[in-house]
Structure 1
Amino acid sequence: MYRRVAIIGGGAAAAALLSELLDRQPPQPLHLDWYTGGGTPARGVAYGTRSDRHLLNVRAASMSMFVARPQGFLEFAQRGDHSISGTDFLPRRLYGDYLEAEVNRALTRAREAGHDVRVLPFAADAVVPESDGVTVIHGEENTHVDAAVLAIGSLPPQPLAGVSDAALESGLYVTEPWSFLASAKPDPRPRKVVLIGLGLTAVDVLLELSALWPNATFEAISRHGLLPEPHLESASAPADDSGELIEAMRDAPDIRAWIRLLREAVAQSADWRTVIDSLRPHTPSLWALLPPAERSRFLRHARWAWERVRHRMAPQVMSSLKQLEREGRLHRRRGRLQAVNVVDGKLHLDVRLPHGKGVHTMDADLVVQTIGLNTDVRRTQHPLVRQLATNGHITPDPLGLGCAATTEGRLQHNGHTWQHFYAIGTLLRGTLWESTAIPEIRQQARNLADRLLAPQVA
């Protein structure tokens, strides 16, 4: 087993792995260095919000941090409110509280068991994987560990092409919506806000700013102008295991064929959601079958449709957005952002319309970029990831989906696999595709903990 392990990252994936490691009873004490990067450990960006308007997009009964304790989050929530049901969509703030509580519980048990855990409230400056372990560097301190795990979540968002330096310097173009929302204050002034993107991040921004700014209007621009689909009011389950559909997809690893098969399955189903949900356990193995050209085709042509049906929102959230539309405060527009400049103290946007309809221009008091997770290691400004990529310690996924890695999470470089350097969560999207939500992350944490604590590691 590895006796000294570094976990780099302060969000839910890091917290899940730390807790899995400390909940075991290894024959020898562990030394764990947890580089949380500042902020509140365990919450990360995803669960750092303090707004009750930001809801989980998975029902409470499915959000446990641990495979072995499937009702963990629900039990935690019900201790504060006995009326909560497993089918409820609860605030992400509450889930952040749960993660913090589980980490604190694990740290207490670690002290009792004689483990040495250092919670380091800063980021690692550099990481150097080697044949016999990994060196983690922070300031003047170089620490050699038996294994290290990158658990840094998504990368910092980058401005879209066409956004001028003047727009960025004005402070009126927001690339990091979560830090912006954390500091937003109530304001009755009328203003026009434009959102670039219509995924779940855009939904959260709309919910929060529409409440804080009651006289603001919102225009949301995306390629297809569609909101994420909602969950059903009541929970549903697949009528069967979709075995025939899965086998047919395995026999024809081609995006066009898969779309045809999915349409046929949906046509025969009482609700399309049961078909999509039945694919979830099989998504990594199906993704592995796709040749690079087919993966690229999926990203160009079908990703937007998959994301809006796979990553759904709570029914009450959809109701709130529809109310904003009825009130005339929210308008959705199809198009692609071409340019953003500053003109007379406002932002001036050029948006290319679909089907060759030309370019639409508009002004905005504020533009918020809400295009979703950034996983492109090739272009990131994240200091540690840039260091790893520049020094050839990791290989970027060719489609911008994190890092090259094995299905077990071992990171790769120049066609070789590190034996002591791992990743968990979002950086594995190119390998697993389905690698960003708690149900997948908790399974990764469990499997990785097994691997790190195994008597012999291959």
Structure 2
Amino acid sequence: MTQQTIAIVGAGFSGTLLALHLMRQCSPETRIVLIERNQHFGRGAAYSTGNSSHLLNVPAAKMSAFQARPSDFLDWLKACPPELLDGLQPLPTTFVPRAIFGRYISDLLENEMKSTLHCGQLELLRADVTDIAPGSGGMVVTLGNGEALPVDRAVLAVGNFPPSPPPVADASFYDTEHYRPDPWAPDLLDNLDPEAPLLLIGTGLTTVDTVVSLLDRAHRGPIVALSRRGLLPQNHLLGPVKTALPETEEFPTRLSNLARFLRDRSGQAREAGGSWQAVIDELRPMTTEIWQAMPHEDRLRFLRHLRPWWDTHRHRISGPVAARIAEARRTGQLRIQAGRIRGYSVTPDGVEVTYRPRFKDELDSLTVGRVINCSGPESDFGRIRDPLVRRMLDQGMVRPDALSLGLDITRTCALLGRDGGISRRLFAIGPVTKGAFWEMTAVPDIRQQAEFLAGQLAALVKPPAVAAQSSDVSWSI
């Protein structure tokens, strides 16, 4: 049998984790090529931050890269040199700086590549990918320098894309120096007057990160964060979290019944001395199954009306970060505003932003020195301008999902083409699969998906006699 090659396009967290699990589940003869356009392999935008105040939103005990070794990250932390941790206590409840978690993933990748069993199996390739198309007996991945890389199977692990700007009548403002479209750009806060008033579009996790970065830079100017509903992420509770969630025979999958279920169980938990946070967390293992069983019209209703409340309660922030945000609001430096942006006007004093406050008919305005789009990753592939994505869409290799959350895939992560055909050569992992799995941004969810997809791909590249054997990798889908 000729050597099989699997290419992973994108070496952020999801792509790197898939590579780790492929090395563990594929035969040593399988070649794995991990392709990344950016400087670091294994970290992506989230874990490349150099700011030690950017903390994980999940405690250390839940951040292992391996389901079968739940304490792996915590054990790695305990073995770290003290200078790396800088006084941090490696406890199960510790919220670790994201850069340290990025170091953990990089170390895993490096150690796996050095092992005798996998020596030479994984190739790290720093390059842009401009096209993925069918080739002779497989796929051809075209690199930015024009080189054609023939592979048997390819996996899109392209991660998150920068947010799209709010629609306004005159969009020319978005081409000015006063606007920053990418909240993860390394030069986001360069040449910023520390007294300048700022507008942050959005009030979610990206806004929280940006506010923390501004505070760390001793920014003194006022900060206004504006979103349609003005909802900030909730915070995790300190210490043990009790719950009184009773056992139930079934979880509702109709939206109204599910909302009632969560309200009732949260109330019961609080009455018993517990918390609503524990109720949300106990629902987590069932979230994908509930999403997939929910009728399509209910999913649409959820996205239109309830998603912001779910996001702020499900994706919470650590206590230290929540305390800094609360203090900035108490002093008046940070103001949260609910409303919709209607337009911009560049003036000698900066940018006059016109918006309509929530539940009001009259317009209001404020003048700021810079506008930063923190509204969260763009998931509507009809709006994403990435050249690789556009080319694959134009060629019909992939298609957006029906909910505009990502790309259309099967429950086994195989991509669907324009005509609905299921590819046996092209797969996806990570945030682009949200339409099928919904919760696909946090580490525990991507970890589970990576192990599952690695098992699927390992079975496909095995010789027929071996592939017929059952896989021990399973995933609740």
Fold in common (TM above 0.5):
yes
Matched residue, 1:126: 131
Cα shift at 1:136: 0.8
Is 1:210 aligned to residue 212 of structure 2?
Answer: no
Cα shift at 1:106: 1.7
Cα shift at 1:236: 2.6
Give the stretch that moved more between structures: 334-343 or 157-166: 157-166
SS in 2 for 1:332: strand
Spell out the pairing of 1:243-322 with structure 2 (5 A cutoff): 243-244=248-249, 247-250=250-253, 253=254, 255-269=255-269, 270-322=274-326
Cα shift at 1:424: 0.6
Cα shift at 1:72: 1.7
For residue 396 of structure 1, the aligned residue among 395, 400, 424 is 400
Matched residue, 1:385: 389
Cα shift at 1:140: 2.6
Matched residue, 2:42: 42
CA RMSD of aligned residues (A): 2.2
Q: Distance in 2 between matches of 1:169 and 1:29?
A: 50
Change (3 A) 1:131 1:280: farther
Cα shift at 1:186: 8.9
Q: Distance in 2 between matches of 1:437 and 1:261?
A: 24
Q: Distance in 2 between matches of 1:280 and 1:382?
A: 32
Q: Which runs of 5+ in 1 are unaligned?
A: none
For residue 96 of structure 1, the aligned residue among 84, 93, 102 is 102
Q: Deviations over 1:30-78 (max 9, x none)?
A: 2111111122111111111010110000001101112222112112222
For residue 168 of structure 1, the aligned residue among 168, 174, 195 is 174
Q: Distance in 1 between matches of 2:190 and 2:251?
A: 52
**Contact 2:251–2:290 under 8 Å retained in 1:** no
Q: Distance in 2 between matches of 1:241 and 1:23?
A: 39
Matched residue, 2:165: 159
Q: Deviations over 1:272-331 (max 9, x none)?
A: 111111111111111112222211111110000000000000011111111111211111
Cα shift at 1:130: 6.2
Change (3 A) 1:65 1:27: closer
Spell out the pairing of 1:8-157 with structure 2 (5 A cutoff): 8-24=9-25, 26-80=26-80, 81=82, 83-109=89-115, 113-129=118-134, 132-138=137-143, 139-157=145-163
> Number of matched residues?
450
Q: Which runs of 5+ in 2 are unaligned?
A: 83-87, 469-477
Q: Distance in 1 between matches of 2:169 and 2:159?
A: 25
Q: Distance in 1 between matches of 2:157 and 2:244?
A: 36
Matched residue, 2:4: 3
Q: Distance in 2 between matches of 1:355 and 1:103?
A: 51
**Contact 2:349–2:367 under 8 Å retained in 1:** no
Q: Deviations over 1:214-263 (max 9, x none)?
A: 3221111112222110000114365557534xx1404xx2x222212211
Q: Distance in 1 between matches of 2:13 and 2:194?
A: 37
Give the stretch that moved more between structures: 209-218 or 432-441: 209-218
Q: Distance in 2 between matches of 1:124 and 1:136?
A: 7
Q: Distance in 2 between matches of 1:364 and 1:27?
A: 57
Change (3 A) 1:156 1:214: closer
SS in 2 for 1:309: helix
Q: How does the TM-score come out when normalised to structure 1?
A: 0.93
**Contact 2:235–2:322 under 8 Å retained in 1:** yes
Matched residue, 2:231: 226
Q: Distance in 1 between matches of 2:95 and 2:247?
A: 26
Give the stretch that moved more between structures: 354-363 or 384-393: 354-363
SS in 2 for 1:336: strand
Q: How does the TM-score come out when normalised to structure 2?
A: 0.89
Cα shift at 1:84: 1.6
Matched residue, 2:473: none
Change (3 A) 1:282 1:112: closer
Change (3 A) 1:445 1:8: same
Matched AA of 2:228:
R
Cα shift at 1:196: 1.0
Q: Distance in 2 between matches of 1:48 and 1:114?
A: 26
Change (3 A) 1:403 1:27: closer
Q: Distance in 2 between matches of 1:323 and 1:206?
A: 12
Change (3 A) 1:242 1:374: farther
Matched AA of 2:10:
G
Q: Distance in 2 between matches of 1:118 and 1:98?
A: 19
Q: Distance in 1 between matches of 2:407 and 2:330?
A: 43
**Contact 1:63–1:73 under 8 Å retained in 2:** yes
Q: Distance in 2 between matches of 1:405 and 1:394?
A: 9
Q: Percent identity?
A: 32
Change (3 A) 1:27 1:328: closer
Q: Distance in 1 between matches of 2:120 and 2:363?
A: 61
Q: Distance in 2 between matches of 1:359 and 1:443?
A: 47
